[in-house]
Amino acid sequence: SPPPKHIDEHAVTLAIDPRKDVDGFHPINVAKLAMEDPTAFVPCTPLGCQRLLIAAGIETSGAEVVVVGRSLIVGKPMALLLMAKGKGGDATVTIAHSRSKDLAAITRRADIVIAAIGRPKALGAEHIKDGAVVIDVGINRVDDPSTKSGYRLVGDVDFEAVALKCKAITPVPGGVGPMTIAMLMSNTVTACERLTA
């Protein structure tokens, strides 16, 4: 959740030692990511998405990828990772967002769609071509009186509709979230190793 209004998020980020910035949000790490510097701490969610693609054997080289979302936390770093040279990269990337005209026409071209728009079930079957790979980064609460909590979690993709036509899709919850945590742990161990070397 966002910090209270009286907290200057940018000032807090700048106060963090980039060598300890395991979230990858400091401008120095953002620049290193853009420059494909291997010492960059990469934001955990995009890094987790990339690792999922690699582990699943999904080829990104030459693939058409649409990232739906342009945040500094997911969308922009995800695009940079996918465009970078090497394994899990070399993709042709389009960034779309909530103000993109005819979003369905844009996403239907994609071999891989990464949804990080922050709206429940924003992407349906009409947004995805047959055989595409879909990574759903979204995590949204929707009211559900039938549950003990009174809500349930859904992604940015209508899972039931899209799963019927795609090659692979991540669930919400239980898809990208655990990968984000794993990458945070990995970045933390890396920071510790570098600082104690």
Q: Spell out the residues 6+ positions from residue 183 whose beta carbon is closer than 8 angstroms to its own.
A: 42, 44, 45, 47, 48, 51
When the pLDDT of each residue in the chain is averaged and rounded to a whole number, the result is 97
Q: Looking at residue 6, what is its pLDDT?
A: 95
Across 152-175, average pLDDT = 97
14 is a domain residue: no
26 is a domain residue: no
Strands 140-143 and 133-136 turn out to be unpaired
Contact 59, 87 (CB under 8 A): no
Q: Looking at residue 2, what is its pLDDT?
A: 76
Domain containing residue 122? 44-175
**Cα distance between residue 138 and residue 121, in whole Å:** 9
Measured between alpha carbons, how far is residue 113 from residues 30, 97, 107 in Å? Answer: 23, 12, 7
Contact 170, 154 (CB under 8 A): no
65 is a domain residue: yes
Contact 30, 41 (CB under 8 A): no
What is the DSSP track for 23-89?
T--SHHHHHHHHTT-TTPPPPHHHHHHHHHHHHTT---TT-EEEEE---TTTHHHHHHHHHSSSTT-
| Residues in a beta bridge with 93 | 65
Q: Looking at residue 190, what is its pLDDT?
A: 98
DSSP 123: B
188 is a domain residue: no
Indicate the pTM of the whole model: 0.94
CATH number, domain at 149? 3.40.50.720
Indicate whether 1 pLDDT > 90. Answer: no
Residue in the structure block whose two tokens are 């699943």:
56
Q: For 65-89, write each residue's pLDDT tens digit.
A: 999 999 999 999 999 999 999 999 9
168 is a domain residue: yes
Across 10-31, average pLDDT = 97
| Residues in a beta bridge with 151 | 143
15 is a domain residue: no
pLDDT confidence band for 175 (50 / 70 / 90): very high
Contact 106, 145 (CB under 8 A): no
Contact 24, 187 (CB under 8 A): yes
Across 95-107, average pLDDT = 96
* Domain count within the chain: 1
Indicate whether 121 pLDDT > 80. Answer: yes
Across 147-171, average pLDDT = 96
pLDDT confidence band for 3 (50 / 70 / 90): confident
111 is a domain residue: yes
77 is a domain residue: yes
Q: Looking at residue 197, what is its pLDDT?
A: 86
Across 106-118, average pLDDT = 98
